[in-house]
């Protein structure tokens, strides 16, 4: 381990320590991300709906349409209460506040009229009295809300027994409550709070407090008070931990409900289901509840509330559903009766903090000492394991473990350590790229960076496709330019042509004066390397044409620049050539010499791109025409050559097939020892012109060397 790696390791582990401390402090953004993750677990595996004796008596849109807008007169609420009790309800819990006198009461309406005799008012019915009498002796639970003003405390209808240390500070604090009318509070069998997420900034209901505390007394929620009344129980048993300020569970009659430390229930939501609801109109619109309503009411714990949108009691669940608040009270008891709970054990935070430290340290070690890609792979593997393990624990065991904090910490650590490595540890590698990136192909750079043996002297015999590119009339061009202008000209030209080599998986070997040497299939294998070289040559032709149209060289439209390109496929030796102190990656051999000689014949043939038979035979459906067999300087045998007109698109055109036909007539004419007819040459030039391919010089020279061509064909 070198000093740079030691420094990187130190700062990486320091970052891991900082992230661990951040998780221990548990800021709000981390809590929000954790809660959102737990929501997603529920969405993947919501609690299935099971028919239970728990129903919502719904003041729905149909009921409002039948009986008028809310609030209704209390005598109608009294009628509803009596109907539900007569139908056999086990408990009737109102998710409705009765904190003010009924303004629709006949006595209240008459009293607002000036001059009405007070003795007459006393004889008029009062809806609140009617409702209070209806409540007497029935299993009715009334609700109260949390108030920000006043000092009202509702009466508590049950006793509390305690197991454990002082727990008064654990539940949310009740400063004041919305008042209940005294006669209602006195006659009710139970009183519970209806608050679902007091003090929470999030609109999503995830946990609900089963208890509130004013420091001296506990106040139960509407749901567990309804459960107590339905069982006829008189006392709650609240259990805590061995340290003050922690609630662990609440026993309500025969049911034990596990809670968070603050006495809250982590809700395990099921989908909102129509089978949970009974419309109020089905209870009081006629002389008796409908048969279906009566069957649903009998023996059930009922929550009276509203789903009407105009009454604005709509809440968002962890499943992302917008549901009536009253249905959440019902789901609390569904969860209790089913025994399916979500829990966040005391050890969960410790596991998450340890995971941050362990995963972060592993990622730092792998990134700095081994390889960022391996570190990334290990991190992704651990991420998948963490996500799947947490989701499985939530869906099967109801245990909530946060995978997000360790994953985020590991990701942050990986990118920080990778950034350090890029900036410092890999400085030598970047220096190599800066020095050689302009001259070598990406594949060769990769080999130099990752394989020290690649920098040793030696070579391998392998099949290459070799290309030479040479500027036509360079001598006359350079005579008219200063040396610096010649350099600018070559830089412009080579800068435009060279990318076509590397873009097509080729290796730029060297620049020799006004020439470029490149080859394919080394240092790495290149599939279809003759085709890749051919594509590069055609792209160079288009680039030269574009440069001339833009007058990129500044020579004027009457002095276009042209190049000759020769390509051959054959065996060569490729590797690091030179001395131990200085060497180049290059290719030598007969294939290189042939490609160079073919390029020099471009002027003699009269065309810009010439291929050997070995290269042309490896191309599928390219636009080629026979250029004859010519002797190469320094070689005894002639080499059969082809002029490359274009790619597959050109080869598919009728105009090219017509040119091929005329060209074949010319070749046959020469092969039959007949003179080349001027008409055939003219036809060929006409066909070539229709393709916008510059073959005029080719056919002019073919006509001039007819005897040579005839002999070549022999």
Provide the mean pLDDT of the chain: 87
Pair (462, 402) in one structural domain? no
Tell me whether residue 444 is in a domain.
yes
Q: Helices marked H in 112-251 — which ranges?
A: 118-123, 127-135, 182-187, 222-231
| pTM for the full predicted model | 0.60
pLDDT, tens digit (0-9, with 9 covering 90-100), for 622-660: 999 999 888 898 888 889 999 999 999 999 999 999 999
**Cα dist from 74 to 65, 77, 194, 349, whole Å:** 18, 5, 20, 50
How far apart (Å, rounded) are the C-alpha atoms in residues 114 and 128? 22
pLDDT, position 228: 96
The number of angstroms, rounded, from the C-alpha of 95 to the middle of its chain's C-alpha atoms is 41
- End of a domain among 410, 425, 440? 425
371 located within any domain: yes
pLDDT tier, 621 (very low <50, low <70, confident <90, very high otherwise): very high
Q: Residue 632 in contact with residue 639, Cβ under 8 Å?
A: yes
H or E, element range at 501: helix 483-503
Domain boundary among the residues 317, 338, 359 is at: 338
Q: Which residues partner with 324 through β-bridges? A: 314
Range with the poorest average pLDDT among 192-196, 258-262, 564-568, 631-635: 631-635
* Region 52-77 average pLDDT: 93
Residue 534: which CATH number?
A: 3.30.70.1230
Note whether 646 and 660 are same-domain residues: no
Least confident range of 12-16, 251-255, 313-317, 705-709: 705-709
Give yes or no: residues 645 and 658 share one domain: no
Residues 169 and 264 in one domain: yes
* Share of residues in the chain with pLDDT > 70 (%): 89
pLDDT band (50, 70, 90) for residue 681:
confident
Paired with 139 in beta bridges are none
Q: Give the end of a domain, one of 308, 338, 368.
A: 338
User: 583: pLDDT confidence band, cut at 50, 70 and 90?
Assistant: low
Who has greater pLDDT, 1 or 99? 99
Question: What was the pLDDT predicted at 624?
Answer: 96
d(CA 663, CA 652): 16
CA distances from 486 to 365, 472, 483, 492 (A): 53, 14, 5, 10
Question: Is there a single domain that holds both residue 640 and residue 696?
Answer: no
136 CB-near residues (< 8 Å, 6+ apart)? 187
The answer on 657 and 645 residing in a single domain is: no
101, part of any domain: yes
Averaged pLDDT, 405-425: 77
Q: How many domains does the chain have?
A: 4
> Is pLDDT of 302 > 90?
yes
Residue 407 has pLDDT above 80, yes or no: yes
**Structural domain harbouring 385:** 3-44+343-425
Lowest mean pLDDT among 156-160, 181-185, 239-243: 239-243
By three-state DSSP, how is residue 533 classified? helix
What DSSP element (H or E) covers 457? Answer: none
Residue 505 has pLDDT above 60, yes or no: yes
CA distance 238 to 168: 11
Residues 38 and 69 in one domain: no
Indicate if 291 and 349 belong to the same structural domain.
no
Do the domain assignments include residue 160? yes
Residues 6+ apart with CB under 8 A from 632: 594, 597, 598, 601, 638, 639
Is 49 a domain residue? no
In 3D space, the residue among 271, 272, 256 whose CA is nearest the CA of residue 224 turns out to be: 256
In a shared domain, residues 197 and 158: yes
Question: What is the average per-residue pLDDT within 432-459?
Answer: 55
3-state helix vs strand vs coil in the chain, percent to 5:
50, 20, 30
Residue 436 Cα distances to 161, 441, 563, 673, angstroms: 82, 9, 26, 55
Q: Phi first, then psi: give them for residue 489, nearest 5 degrees.
A: -60, -50
């Amino acid at each position: 381990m070198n000093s740079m790696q030691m420094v990187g390791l130190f700062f990486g582990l320091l970052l891991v320590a900082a992230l661990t401390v951040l998780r221990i402090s548990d800021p709000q953004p981390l809590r929000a991300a954790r809660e959102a993750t737990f929501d997603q677990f529920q969405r993947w595996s919501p609690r299935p709906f099971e028919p239970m004796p728990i129903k919502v008596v719904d003041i729905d849109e149909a009921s409002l349409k039948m009986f008028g807008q809310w609030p209704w007169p209390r005598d109608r609420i009294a009628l509803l209460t009596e109907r539900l009790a007569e139908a056999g309800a086990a408990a009737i819990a109102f998710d409705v506040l009765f904190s003010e006198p009924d303004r629709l009461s006949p006595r209240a309406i008459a009293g607002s009229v000036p001059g009405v005799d007070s003795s007459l008012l006393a004889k008029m019915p009062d809806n609140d009295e009617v409702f209070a009498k209806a409540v007497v002796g029935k299993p009715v639970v009334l609700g109260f809300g949390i108030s920000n003003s006043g000092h009202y405390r509702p009466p508590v209808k049950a006793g509390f027994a305690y197991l454990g240390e002082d727990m008064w500070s654990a539940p949310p604090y009740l400063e004041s409550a919305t008042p209940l009318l005294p006669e209602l509070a006195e006659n009710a069998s139970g009183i519970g709070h209806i608050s679902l997420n007091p003090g929470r900034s999030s609109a999503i209901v995830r946990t609900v407090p089963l208890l509130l505390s004013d420091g001296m007394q506990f106040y139960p929620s509407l749901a567990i008070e309804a459960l107590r009344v339905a069982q006829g129980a008189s006392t709650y048993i609240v259990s805590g931990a061995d340290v003050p300020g922690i609630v662990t569970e609440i026993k309500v009659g025969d049911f034990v409900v596990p809670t968070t430390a603050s006495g809250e229930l982590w809700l395990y939501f099921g989908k909102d289901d129509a089978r949970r609801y009974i419309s109020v109109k089905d209870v009081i619109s006629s002389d008796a509840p409908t048969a279906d309503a009566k069957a649903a009411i009998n023996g059930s714990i009922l929550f009276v509330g509203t789903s009407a949108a105009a009454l604005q009691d709509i809440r968002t669940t962890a499943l992302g559903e917008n549901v009536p608040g009253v249905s959440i009270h019902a789901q609390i008891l569904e969860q209790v009766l089913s025994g399916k709970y979500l829990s966040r054990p005391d050890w969960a935070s410790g596991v998450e903090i340890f995971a941050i430290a362990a995963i972060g340290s592993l990622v730092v070690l792998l990134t700095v000492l081994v390889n960022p890609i391996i570190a990334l792979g290990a991190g992704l593997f651990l991420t998948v394991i963490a996500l799947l393990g947490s989701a499985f624990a939530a869906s099967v065991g109801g245990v909530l473990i946060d995978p997000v904090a360790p994953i985020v910490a590991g990701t942050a650590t990986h990118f920080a350590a990778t950034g350090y490595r890029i900036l410092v540890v890999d400085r030598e590698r970047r220096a190599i790229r800066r020095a050689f990136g302009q001259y070598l192909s990406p594949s060769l750079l990769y080999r130099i960076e990752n394989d020290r043996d690649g920098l040793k002297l030696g070579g391998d015999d392998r099949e290459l496709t070799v290309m030479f590119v040479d500027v036509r009339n360079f001598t006359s061009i350079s005579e008219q330019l200063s040396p610096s202008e010649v350099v600018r000209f070559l830089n412009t030209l080579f800068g435009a042509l060279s990318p076509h080599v590397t873009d097509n998986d080729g290796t730029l070997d060297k620049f020799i004066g006004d020439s470029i040497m490149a080859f394919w299939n080394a240092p790495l294998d290149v599939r279809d390397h003759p085709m890749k070289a051919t594509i590069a040559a055609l792209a160079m032709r288009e680039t030269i044409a574009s440069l001339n149209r833009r007058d990129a060289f500044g020579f004027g439209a009457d002095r276009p620049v042209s190049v000759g390109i020769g390509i051959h496929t054959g065996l060569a030796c490729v590797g690091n050539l030179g001395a131990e102190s200085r060497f180049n990656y290059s290719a030598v051999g007969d294939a290189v010499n042939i490609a160079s000689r073919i390029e020099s014949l471009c002027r003699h043939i009269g065309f810009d791109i010439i291929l050997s038979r070995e290269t042309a035979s490896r191309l599928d459906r390219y636009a080629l025409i026979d250029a004859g067999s010519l002797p190469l300087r320094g070689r005894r045998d002639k080499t059969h050559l082809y002029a490359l007109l274009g790619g597959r698109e050109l080869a598919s055109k009728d105009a090219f097939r017509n040119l091929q036909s005329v060209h074949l007539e010319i070749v046959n004419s020469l092969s039959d020892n007949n003179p080349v007819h001027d008409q055939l040459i003219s036809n060929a030039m006409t066909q070539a012109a229709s393709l916008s391919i510059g073959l005029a010089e080719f056919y002019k020279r073919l006509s001039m060397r007819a005897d040579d061509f005839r002999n070549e064909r022999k």
